[in-house]
Structure 1
Amino acid sequence: MTAIPDHTLAAVVRAFGEPIGIEEVPVPPTVDAGGLLVEVVACSLCGTDVHCWEGSLALDIRLPLILGHEMVGRIIAIGDGAQVDSVGQDLRIGDRVIWTHSFCGRCEMCTRKRPAMCRNRTAYGHVSMEDWPYLMGGFARHAYVLPGSGRVRVPDAVPDALASMASCALRSVVNAVEQAGRVGPEHTVVVQGAGPLGILATGLFAQAGAGRVVTVGAPDARLRLATEFGADEVISLDEVPDPADRLARVREATGGPGADLVAEFSGHPAAFAEGVEMAGLGARYLVVGQLGSGTTPIAPGTITKKNLTVIGSFSGDVSHYHEALVVLERYADRLPFDRLISGQYPLDQVNDVIGRMQAFQEIKPVLLPGGSPR
């Protein structure tokens, strides 16, 4: 075990929507059985981080807190019994890991092997830093991995920034693609949304063998990136602002009947009704982006008359974290994952980075709490 510092630096939210300050935060002097203490080497930003800072999440958030839930850390202390990760790989001081939120392991969701739906989960980036173990967010130089958190060792070939992205964006997409079921050359897939999740989903559906992938979104720079990830066609919300015209484009791309699979990653409530229209008879509709409290009018009879299968997909379990890292390794020469990382910044630039995300000037920025990237 390396020396544990008394304090570390963290970006602390003390008031919603106000500038974030860099503060000293205490470090737990010991690590509980099953836990880990890590140096955070990279933490990518998620739209949820921005919404949490704004105070717009429909959650009971108690300030002050350290944001960040997409992080990778280098182990500096290992609690008793934590020498093996959740997929059976040995862990040693100096290894890099990504980790899940903390699950209770006792509720019906945990025991049914859906721990991501744990009723008693503790979510990183949403816990007050006044509560032990204080370091529950990735916008800090150190973080504490709770005993109830699944963890996976990061392969040497995977860079820090991509490993951090795997711990949220990519693991969510891996889970969603798995839940969607088989796609093959006979299937046309429409992806709604050209943010990080939509672009990653475009790539994974293309690699899974979909006959045609159509990505709908904006701005054009992101659609160009979706093309690099394998989109056969893109539909720009800016160039085609009328939903009826976008529906006509999808029907043209599919020869008339609509898509075999529509995958919603946009997060805009109105996209749900539009996606139902884009789906063909007997199609599947995968809904991933709808995490807010917004509503939208829809004719539910459309689902019935089209015989649609609607699939909700939330987050991911530790197996999806592991699979996300495998995807980064195996598809490294096929998909330009590094193009999603729009910038890497020191911790003290956190306010500028959040502002750039609000202005859609970043796709997936990464904070480097400890300094230089690996």
Structure 2
Amino acid sequence: MTALPTTARAAVLVEAGKPLDIIDVPIPQVEPGAVLVETLASTICATDVHRWEGGFGGAVAGPIILGHEMTGRVVRLGEGVSRDSVGEDLAVGDRIIWAHGFCGQCDQCVIEGQPMLCGRPTLYMATPCSAFPYLTGGFAEYCYVFPNAGRVKVPDEVGDAAAAAAACALRTIVHAFDRLGGIDFRQTVVIQGAGPLGLFATVLASLSGAFRVIVIGGPSQRLDLAREWGADVTIDIGAVPDPAERQALVLEATGGRGGDVVIEAAGVPEAFNEGLGLLRVGGRFLVVGPTHGATVPFRPMTMIAKQPTIIGVRSAAIAHYGRALSLMRRHRDRFDWDALITSTRPLEDINEAMSSMKAWAEIKPAISYPR
């Protein structure tokens, strides 16, 4: 067995709003059922930026390693681990992506079959890196896959950074479309937001055979990719900053009806009420973007006037991770998944990459770990 180093470099959050520190973190022994991987690529999510800025509870309880979108190569298998979560043989050297840990012993996990709603989850970028198993975030040279975390092998046809993006944005959209239900050839889908969630929603709406896909967002680099990935109409919020004008454009494109399906993937407080305004009477409103925690004024009369179906989505189960990778493999010739990755930087430049993501200067920055 190849010897491993005793520590790994990691980017840790010590104080919200402050630059991440690069420190050495212990590499743990591997428990039964767990897996240790060397990180091949990590991608940055808006959730990482929100946590960095102080969202999700504000104060940091001890230094934590940020990052939850990562691809790793197996270097240690815990006792009893010989397969991934879908039954494929798993060995040292295989590439995997993995989920948060769900308890598997609660009503949501077992009775409802909704592990993403688990009441006792084990989450990445939530446990201080000063405590075992230390490597509990994606911005590190090695990462620990919890014993209760699902894991799936990455197909050879999918690159490291694209697979990392599938481990959050795409698996969430796969779950979201499950909850949404079918889209038929008559229906128009309006997608608010042209970030990774909105772009992957564009892919699935296109593959679902929607009559028309309209994407509202910006900047132009993102909208260019949205058109490549299936958008029929794009509306640049920089060129059309007035929500009323954007609504008029959507109504014009839909014969005055509005969208049959509106997907809120923008994640800004203003998008919720705007999205309801873009929705036709009796339409479906899929809410997947907000992680801001803001309170949004809402007119309950809208629920009567429009009789909408409002669908919320939280995270995903390991089945959605596996299906996300299958989608990438199946449609690799139609969609250039690597186009989502707009830069690759070493771990030492993590703060630059986070700032770039915060400023909307990129779609999806990646962190690499050359060895």
**Distance between the aligned counterparts of 1:194 and 1:247, measured in 2?**
17
| Aligned residues of 1:32 and 1:79 also touching (Cα < 8 A) | yes
**Distance between the aligned counterparts of 1:283 and 1:92, measured in 2?**
47
**Distance between the aligned counterparts of 1:370 and 1:34, measured in 2?**
28
**Distance between the aligned counterparts of 1:290 and 1:105, measured in 2?**
27
Q: 2:69: which partner in 1?
A: 70
| Aligned residues of 1:215 and 1:231 also touching (Cα < 8 A) | yes
Q: How far does residue 348 in structure 1 lie from its aligned partner after superposition?
A: 0.7
Q: 2:329: which partner in 1?
A: 329
Q: 1:187: which partner in 2?
A: 187
Q: Deviations over 1:228-287 (max 9, x none)?
A: 111000111111111111111111111111111001100112211111111112111100
Change (3 A) 1:307 1:330: same
Q: 2:307: which partner in 1?
A: 307
Greater Cα offset, 53-62 or 237-246: 53-62
Q: Deviations over 1:114-151 (max 9, x none)?
A: 11111111211222101100000111111111101000
Q: 1:342: which partner in 2?
A: 342
Q: How far does residue 56 in structure 1 lie from its aligned partner after superposition?
A: 2.4
Query: Which segments of 5 or more consecutive residues in structure 2 lack a partner in the other structure?
Result: none
Q: 2:21: which partner in 1?
A: 21
| Aligned residues of 1:141 and 1:370 also touching (Cα < 8 A) | no
SS at match of 1:12: strand
Q: How far does residue 347 in structure 1 lie from its aligned partner after superposition?
A: 0.8
Greater Cα offset, 112-121 or 68-77: 112-121
SS at match of 1:81: coil
Q: Deviations over 1:313-343 (max 9, x none)?
A: 1111100000110111111111222111001
| Aligned residues of 1:6 and 1:26 also touching (Cα < 8 A) | yes
Give the share of equivalent positions with the same residue, in percent.
46
Q: 1:33: which partner in 2?
A: 32
SS at match of 1:367: strand
Any residues of structure 2 matched to 1:165-314 within 5 Å, and which?
A: 165-314=165-314
Q: Deviations over 1:134-185 (max 9, x none)?
A: 0001111111111010000111111101110111011011111221111121
TM-score, normalised via structure 1 length: 0.96
Report runs of 4+ in structure 1 exceeding 4 Å deviation.
none
Q: 1:147: which partner in 2?
A: 147
Greater Cα offset, 336-345 or 2-11: 2-11
| Aligned residues of 1:40 and 1:71 also touching (Cα < 8 A) | yes
Q: 2:53: which partner in 1?
A: 54
Q: How far does residue 60 in structure 1 lie from its aligned partner after superposition?
A: 6.3
**Distance between the aligned counterparts of 1:304 and 1:285, measured in 2?**
14
Q: How far does residue 15 in structure 1 lie from its aligned partner after superposition?
A: 2.1
**Distance between the aligned counterparts of 2:123 and 2:370, measured in 1?**
23
RMSD: 1.3
| Aligned residues of 1:2 and 1:77 also touching (Cα < 8 A) | no
Greater Cα offset, 32-41 or 61-70: 61-70
| Aligned residues of 1:58 and 1:292 also touching (Cα < 8 A) | no
| Aligned residues of 1:11 and 1:347 also touching (Cα < 8 A) | yes
Q: Deviations over 1:30-69 (max 9, x none)?
A: 2111100110011101111111112222366412111110
Q: How far does residue 21 in structure 1 lie from its aligned partner after superposition?
A: 2.3
**Distance between the aligned counterparts of 1:18 and 1:278, measured in 2?**
38
**Distance between the aligned counterparts of 2:26 and 2:57, measured in 1?**
29
Q: Deviations over 1:172-211 (max 9, x none)?
A: 1111122111112100000011111101111110111001
**Paired letter, 1:261:** V
| Aligned residues between the structures | 370
Determine if the alignment matches structure 1 residue 104 to structure 2 residue 94: no
Query: Which segments of 5 or more consecutive residues in structure 1 lack a partner in the other structure?
Result: none
Q: 2:120: which partner in 1?
A: 120
SS at match of 2:206: helix
TM-score, normalised via structure 2 length: 0.97
SS at match of 1:310: strand
SS at match of 1:269: coil
| Aligned residues of 1:346 and 1:368 also touching (Cα < 8 A) | yes
| Aligned residues of 1:40 and 1:370 also touching (Cα < 8 A) | no
| Aligned residues of 2:37 and 2:74 also touching (Cα < 8 A) | yes
Q: 1:358: which partner in 2?
A: 358
**Paired letter, 1:347:** L
Change (3 A) 1:19 1:61: closer
**Paired letter, 2:85:** S
**Distance between the aligned counterparts of 1:244 and 1:3, measured in 2?**
62
